[in-house]
Amino acid sequence: MTPQNIPTISHIAIIMDGNGRWASINGLSRNKGHEKGTENIQSIVQRVSELKIKFLTIFAFSTENWSRPKLEVSNLMNLLFDSINKQLDYLINENIRVIHIGEKSSLPSHLQKAIYQCEQSTKNNTGLTLNVALNYGGRSEILNSIRKIVSNNNNLSPNQISFEDIEENLYTSGIPDPDLIIRTGGEKRISNFLLWQSAYSEYFFSDVLWPDFTSQDIDKAIDTYFSRQRRFGKV
């Protein structure tokens, strides 16, 4: 492996999939599956923090998830609200910074306030940065970025728009692209997640359902990542 191809890792992103199937297998309601999946986040965050990886992005709720049954969506919103409030002291004590990525205005007002409080309370933390993709969609993110560029530059011609312009107006502006994207639950698709940022990410697909995904599983994904050569289009 040539020096330029030796993998380094500063950002992991996770599509947390399999809560509903975990609940079905265990004879529980889908809401119980989401509860178990939410409880599992802390142990994975802790492991990534221990490994001194600077950025972790988790896919908590997509723009497409609004099409689920209303009761399930309502329960999810309340579960996310409770989780943020319960985890705030832990995040502060562990020096973890939280950044929301996604569209806030469509979220319930109490959840918007909880997100704002969490971001403000952790903004000076210098350890792991935890990006929570909540009401997030990759296509919408790119479209919104272009709209902001045009809105802020009335005299800009299309040919003047650069890659850098788009990146600066993404939710993840200033955050490195993910080196490794993990999807749990056995599905092998990207589900509108970090479409721009994942252009050269490595993927790891795990059959383990998210509520059962452990520190050992994330270590396995990272070990696999380090066995690969990243060429970025080069030889």
Catalytic pick among 5, 31, 65, 217:
65
Pairing verdict, β 180-183 and 11-15: parallel
Catalytic pick among 5, 17, 124, 125:
17
Separation between Cα atoms, residue 138 and residue 196, nearest integer Å: 7
In Å, how far are 33, 96, 139, 141 from 68, measured between CA atoms?
Answer: 15, 31, 19, 21
17 is annotated as an active-site residue:
yes
In Å, how far are 99, 108, 195, 233 from 105, measured between CA atoms?
Answer: 16, 8, 22, 39
- Report the interhelical angle of 30-50 vs 215-226 (nearest 10°): 60
177 is annotated as an active-site residue:
no
Query: Which positions are catalytic?
Result: 17, 65
